Chain A
Amino acid sequence: MLTRLGLWIRSNLLRRQLERDMQREMAEHLERSTARLVARGMSARDARAEARREFGNVTSLQEQARAERGWRWLYTITGDLRFAMRHYGKRPATTLTIVFVLATGLSISTALFSFMLSYSTEPPPGITRAADMVRLRGMVRSGGENVARPFTLDEFRAQQALADHFRQTAAWIDHNAFLGAGGDPERRTERGSATFVSEDYFSVLGVRPAIGALLAPRDFGTDAPLAAVLSHGAWKQLFGARADIVGRTVVVDGALATIVGVMPPRFSGVSTFDPIKIWLPLTAQSRIVPSVPRDAPLLRTAARLAPGVTLQQATAATMLVASRVSANAASLTPATRGSRTSRETALTDVVPLIAASGDPSFERDVRVMTACFTALGILVLLVTCTNVSALIAGLGIARRKEVAIRLSMGAARARIVRQLVTESVLLAVAAGPIALGVIWSMQRALTLFAPDIPITMRVSWPATLFTFGLALLVGMAFGVSPALHATRLSVASVLKESASMITASGTRMQRGLVVAQIAFTQPLVVGIAALLLIVFGAYQRQGFTPAADQIVSLKVRMPREASASALPPAQRAARVARLQGDSRRLRERLERTAGVVRVVPDVQGVTRLAAYGVHPADRVAGGNTSLIRMSAMRASPGFLDVMSIPIIAGSDFSGADTMRVASDGSEMAVIIGDALARELWPGVNPIGRRLVPLAEDLDAPETVRPPLVVRGVAEQNDDDPSAAHEGHRVTIPVRNDSTGALSFVMRTTGSAGPMMPTLRRVVAEEMPNVASIDARTLKDLQAEVRNAYTLVTMTLVVGGGLALLVAAIGLYAVVSLAVGQRTGEIGVRMAVGARASQIAGRFMRDGLRLGAIGLAIGLPLSLLGLRVLLSMPELLPPVGIGVVGVLAGAGVMLVAVLATVIPARRAAAVDPAIVLRGE
């Protein structure tokens, strides 16, 4: 057996050598025969001829010899390939187009499928998959949907105690933080996140540091010095990727922590994906975020299953813990917790730790996203397949005559089919590496230009094989079908080419392909157009301020102090007074700085207000008197002025407004947007009119509900882009007792960029022990948002453009092949008196009719896609989607027309004399 294998390998590896040997040997034989015959008295010429006759056909003999060596398959394939190359070489444009379309379509759909597959089957970036790695998800069932329920420390400890079920359990709390390099004289900070982790966190996730070490058990002591592990992004952006990082300090919300290690690129923990991130011991949470009580439910947990434990068993065990813990909590504090747990049951489930199995409240979104991406990938694949099919089928139809000739000369049907299959495979083989190259470069680009973006772009082989296999199959099917068809027709009729049946059946297939092409392209284009509209709408609602480079946001952080709630009242009051003094002093100092026009405290976040209605006495005819949803930002007097938001009626808040915001039922001033003013009080002056909270919403806990009186109307876009469901955005005065905050917005006379170092220096002088200074212009902040929008828009435009291009290529190919086939017919028509415009018109009408059928078929698909897209809660139905849908349809139609015009004109330019001579 081994000897045989060796011989086979030898005969294939040393093929050239053996081939040479064979030819030498046969030549030798002929020479000796000739010599023998000459010796018998023949002339040299006769002897040579006789020797050849005796020997037989040398070529055929060599063929036989090769067959004996088992090379027949090799020669057949080489022959087929050579033929295919020649065939494609004669049609370079079509061939390049097919390869281009295949490569583009395959790379896009493979990238999409790969991304979706790794998202739904792999853990978050940077974590290696392990069968026993699970996530414990707490949730409550509320209104038919699961809402995430983070765990308390007690519940986590109880989960940790389930040693029979979990080998290791880890918990973490994510916290948005300002991070900066320790010892930076300018105290610059970046927004990032800090994750407080339990001891087993890193070992449960199975991750290793890239530099230094992970958190050691001694770092988890309550009094231990703060230790931190940096993400790769934080290391690069805060410390410029310096090598001597271990032992340096990092500032986290004003506290200093010593760096012990750096994690590898892309690892960003489990739940939040922030490139700038640090990990700190769970015990450090109370020191860095003292305001959060120790028993607050904030923990998320993950674990490694004990050997042999199933997900169901683990879920059952954690459910038991959940019910016990919530029962305890209810009995301890019935007033605060009882109402919640009586209505909603605390649940827990254990699921594999993969990127897609995150927060249970996002499950629907994840499903929608998966569906969208998969649908997009399938659409791209379908468009590619129809396109390639159209091109290959076109080529195949054009070759009917050739097929018929070969059949008539005795070629077996199987032989011809094999030839066509080889051709399709050749195309796929050419396009495959290009597509893989494109995917590879996308990956490289991602690694090079965005190494810290936590996105895995791993090429998944199942997805790749699936896409490539499908394209290959479709290509083959369409390559083979004309051959099968031609072999079924009578050879004579094909060769005569007068038979109308050939063109009839060919055109039917082509027509089908055109229709399919348009039907698949339309939803793609409509979907992309809708996404563009959504993005554009969101961009517009951002309300970019005009003089953004003259507005500075300055956030100053002082070193952490103990939580104010823990202090006795007298000390607390003293601290508030001190903070307010500091804030005022800093503000005054900044206002004295050259180039600064005005400094006001920044807004204190956004509060959701209760449901309001217009006071009965203030209602006017035509005004909205039903329930109004509002969310309010708390601003100081002058804030709107600094932000260059003009007040078009009434006035700004006064200092007195900030004093009168106690919850004693007295009225509070409000500044509303002009749109709301027009909605509530059309045509009358809204100043002084009142809004009152509505009784039906009184049990909503965290809302503010004093009666409101309109102080002013600001020219502002009152739609909040990120939270449309929160209703109109209004402004209420900031509380006087909270003005101790050290966040400001200021207005400068000129561009504020060059003033940043001065501003930082001023702050550092005024407050020598400042921990971090975060200063940036509104322009910079807006530029980040703009860049994000530009990126998304560009991606969509390029995607849509490619889809249209591919569709146009397909249409053009199909129509121009149809024209090419009907040249004879056109010639006859023109010879009997048809005008060129009539011929062109006929082809155009044909194209348009097919386009219309395609659009009609694609319409339900488009509508379905839009429905799915717009069912996502955070996406507002974009304005004018109907119009854009029609426009997108018209765009596809236009492409269809353009793809028809050129071949139609070519058809009209046919010279009947030449064509008829050819007939």
Chain B
Amino acid sequence: MTALGQLVVIDLVRPLVPLTFRSRSAHVPAMSRDNTPFLPGTLDFIVLQLLQAEPTNGYDLTLRIQAITDDVLNVNAGSLYPSLYRLEQRGLLRASWADSDTGRRTKVYAVTPTGKKHLADQRKEWDRFSGALAAILRAT
């Protein structure tokens, strides 16, 4: 991707990031394995999408992200937990303590109806965005 392409991408993605989080520089962006940062807001998107497929706990979620992306995205705890708390605080996730397969008590996160609606909106935006991105890449 060219530098221009990256800039355009960032500009297009920016509206996706909810206003409330833009000013919060506190959370450390998650890194992919080759140290390229996640696009801001994408972690929340990924978390929601995965939890909608199957409610699970934080530890299993990190493993699942690694497995699905074939270790391309390595989401560490330092990014994942703030993201989980943030989504819970916004009412998009609900947490409850449950026994895991291994018999341990773990905190399991599930997507709330609000979360589902939010995710659907995010997906629509993403499709629009990736379509635009594809068009740009095709044209250049």
Q: Decide if B107 is an interface residue (CB 8 Å cutoff).
A: yes
Q: Decide if A54 is an interface residue (CB 8 Å cutoff).
A: yes
A4 to B86, CA, bound (A): 12
- Asked if A29 contacts B89 (CB within 8 A), the reply is no
- Asked if A54 contacts B76 (CB within 8 A), the reply is yes
Q: Decide if B77 is an interface residue (CB 8 Å cutoff).
A: yes
- Asked if A29 contacts B24 (CB within 8 A), the reply is no
A11 to B90, CA, bound (A): 11
Residues of A within 8 A of B81 (CB): 22, 25-26, 61, 64-65
Query: Contact flags (1/0) for A7-21 with B, using CB distance below 8 Å?
Result: 110010000000001
- Asked if A69 contacts B85 (CB within 8 A), the reply is yes
- Asked if A69 contacts B89 (CB within 8 A), the reply is yes
Q: Decide if A663 is an interface residue (CB 8 Å cutoff).
A: no
On whether A28 and B90 interact (CB within 8 A), knowing A21-B107, A67-B26, the answer reads no
Residues of A within 8 A of B82 (CB): 61, 64-65, 67-68
Q: Decide if A55 is an interface residue (CB 8 Å cutoff).
A: yes
- Asked if A67 contacts B24 (CB within 8 A), the reply is yes
A60 to B81, CA, bound (A): 12
- Asked if B78 contacts A55 (CB within 8 A), the reply is yes
Q: Decide if B38 is an interface residue (CB 8 Å cutoff).
A: no
A11 to B86, CA, bound (A): 12
Residues of B within 8 A of A25 (CB): 57-58, 81, 106-107
Among B76, B82, B106, residue most surrounded by chain A Cβ atoms (within 10 Å): B82
Q: Decide if A607 is an interface residue (CB 8 Å cutoff).
A: no
Residues of A within 8 A of B106 (CB): 25, 28
Question: Which listed residue, A4, A56, A69, touches B78 by the CB 8 Å rule?
Answer: A56
Total residues of chain A contacting the partner, CB 8 A: 26
Q: Decide if B27 is an interface residue (CB 8 Å cutoff).
A: yes
Q: Decide if B138 is an interface residue (CB 8 Å cutoff).
A: no
Among A21, A60, A64, A67, residue most surrounded by chain B Cβ atoms (within 10 Å): A64
Question: Which listed residue, B57, B59, B78, B114, touches A61 by the CB 8 Å rule?
Answer: B78
- Asked if B91 contacts A68 (CB within 8 A), the reply is no
How many whole Å from A40's CB to the nearest CB in chain B? 13
Query: Contact flags (1/0) for B48-80 with A, using CB distance below 8 Å?
Result: 000000000111000000000000000011100
Q: Decide if A70 is an interface residue (CB 8 Å cutoff).
A: yes
- Asked if A68 contacts B86 (CB within 8 A), the reply is yes
- Asked if A57 contacts B89 (CB within 8 A), the reply is no
- Asked if A32 contacts B59 (CB within 8 A), the reply is yes
In the complex, what residue of chain B is closest to A10 when comparing beta carbons? B89
A64 to B86, CA, bound (A): 10
How many whole Å from B78's CB to the nearest CB in chain A? 4
Residues of A within 8 A of B76 (CB): 54-56
How many whole Å from B28's CB to the nearest CB in chain A? 8
Residues of B within 8 A of A666 (CB): none
Which residues 3-47 in B have Cβ within 8 Å of A in the complex? Answer: 24, 26-28
A65 to B27, CA, bound (A): 9
- Asked if A11 contacts B77 (CB within 8 A), the reply is no
In the complex, what residue of chain B is closest to A31 when comparing beta carbons? B104
Query: Contact flags (1/0) for A758-777 with B, using CB distance below 8 Å?
Result: 00000000000000000000
Q: Decide if A33 is an interface residue (CB 8 Å cutoff).
A: yes
Q: Decide if A342 is an interface residue (CB 8 Å cutoff).
A: no
Question: Which listed residue, B27, B58, B114, touches A64 by the CB 8 Å rule?
Answer: B27
A69 to B95, CA, bound (A): 14
Question: Which listed residue, A3, A11, A22, touches B114 by the CB 8 Å rule?
Answer: A3
- Asked if B58 contacts A29 (CB within 8 A), the reply is yes
Query: Contact flags (1/0) for A45-68 with B, using CB distance below 8 Å?
Result: 000000000111100110011011
Residues of B within 8 A of A64 (CB): 26-28, 78, 81-82
- Asked if B78 contacts A29 (CB within 8 A), the reply is no
How many whole Å from B31's CB to the nearest CB in chain A? 11
How many whole Å from B20's CB to the nearest CB in chain A? 10
Residues of B within 8 A of A32 (CB): 59, 104
Which residues 66-89 in A have Cβ within 8 Å of B in the complex? Answer: 67-70
Which residues 269-318 in A have Cβ within 8 Å of B in the complex? Answer: none
Q: Chain B, interface size: which category?
A: 20 to 34
On whether A65 and B85 interact (CB within 8 A), knowing A3-B114, A4-B91, A28-B104, the answer reads yes
How many whole Å from B60's CB to the nearest CB in chain A? 9
Query: Contact flags (1/0) for B113-127 with A, using CB distance below 8 Å?
Result: 010000000000000
- Asked if B59 contacts A11 (CB within 8 A), the reply is no
Residues of B within 8 A of A24 (CB): 107
Residues of B within 8 A of A7 (CB): 88-91
Query: Contact flags (1/0) for B92-111 with A, using CB distance below 8 Å?
Result: 00010100000011110000
A713 to B57, CA, bound (A): 111
Residues of A within 8 A of B97 (CB): 21
A259 to B130, CA, bound (A): 95
A55 to B28, CA, bound (A): 13
Residues of B within 8 A of A65 (CB): 81-82, 85
Among A4, A21, A32, A60, residue most surrounded by chain B Cβ atoms (within 10 Å): A32
In the complex, what residue of chain A is closest to B107 when comparing beta carbons? A25
In the complex, what residue of chain A is closest to B77 when comparing beta carbons? A55
Residues of B within 8 A of A57 (CB): 78
A65 to B78, CA, bound (A): 9
On whether A68 and B77 interact (CB within 8 A), knowing A7-B91, A28-B104, A29-B58, the answer reads no
How many whole Å from A225's CB to the nearest CB in chain B? 77
On whether A4 and B90 interact (CB within 8 A), knowing A61-B77, A69-B85, the answer reads yes
Residues of A within 8 A of B28 (CB): 56, 64
Residues of A within 8 A of B26 (CB): 64, 67
A339 to B28, CA, bound (A): 97
Residues of A within 8 A of B86 (CB): 68
A54 to B104, CA, bound (A): 21
A3 to B112, CA, bound (A): 12
Which residues 204-232 in A have Cβ within 8 Å of B in the complex? Answer: none
A141 to B26, CA, bound (A): 77
Residues of A within 8 A of B85 (CB): 22, 65, 68-69
Residues of A within 8 A of B114 (CB): 3
A33 to B105, CA, bound (A): 15
Question: Which listed residue, A4, A33, A67, A70, touches B59 by the CB 8 Å rule?
Answer: A33
A3 to B89, CA, bound (A): 10
How many whole Å from A47's CB to the nearest CB in chain B? 15
How many whole Å from B81's CB to the nearest CB in chain A? 6
How many whole Å from A25's CB to the nearest CB in chain B? 5
On whether A26 and B27 interact (CB within 8 A), knowing A3-B91, A65-B85, A69-B85, the answer reads no
How many whole Å from A18's CB to the nearest CB in chain B? 9
In the complex, what residue of chain B is closest to A63 when comparing beta carbons? B26
Residues of B within 8 A of A33 (CB): 59
- Asked if A54 contacts B77 (CB within 8 A), the reply is yes
In the complex, what residue of chain B is closest to A8 when comparing beta carbons? B89
Question: Which listed residue, B77, B88, B89, touches A56 by the CB 8 Å rule?
Answer: B77
A54 to B81, CA, bound (A): 13
A61 to B76, CA, bound (A): 11
Which residues 412-445 in A have Cβ within 8 Å of B in the complex? Answer: none
A308 to B89, CA, bound (A): 56
Which residues 365-407 in A have Cβ within 8 Å of B in the complex? Answer: none
A67 to B86, CA, bound (A): 9
In the complex, what residue of chain A is closest to B74 when comparing beta carbons? A54
- Asked if B77 contacts A26 (CB within 8 A), the reply is yes
How many whole Å from B125's CB to the nearest CB in chain A? 21
- Asked if A68 contacts B59 (CB within 8 A), the reply is no
A334 to B82, CA, bound (A): 98
How many whole Å from A106's CB to the nearest CB in chain B? 40
A56 to B90, CA, bound (A): 25
- Asked if B78 contacts A70 (CB within 8 A), the reply is no
Shortest 4 CB-CB contacts between residues of A and residues of B: A56-B78, A68-B85, A68-B86, A55-B77
Query: Can you report 23 residue pairs joining A to B where beta carbons are below 8 Å apart?
Result: A3-B91, A3-B114, A7-B90, A7-B91, A11-B89, A24-B107, A25-B57, A28-B57, A28-B59, A28-B104, A28-B105, A55-B77, A56-B76, A56-B77, A57-B78, A64-B27, A64-B82, A67-B24, A67-B82, A68-B27, A68-B82, A68-B86, A69-B89
| Other A-B pairs beyond A33-B59, A67-B82, 9, CB < 8 Å | A3-B114, A7-B89, A21-B97, A21-B107, A22-B81, A55-B77, A56-B28, A57-B78, A64-B78
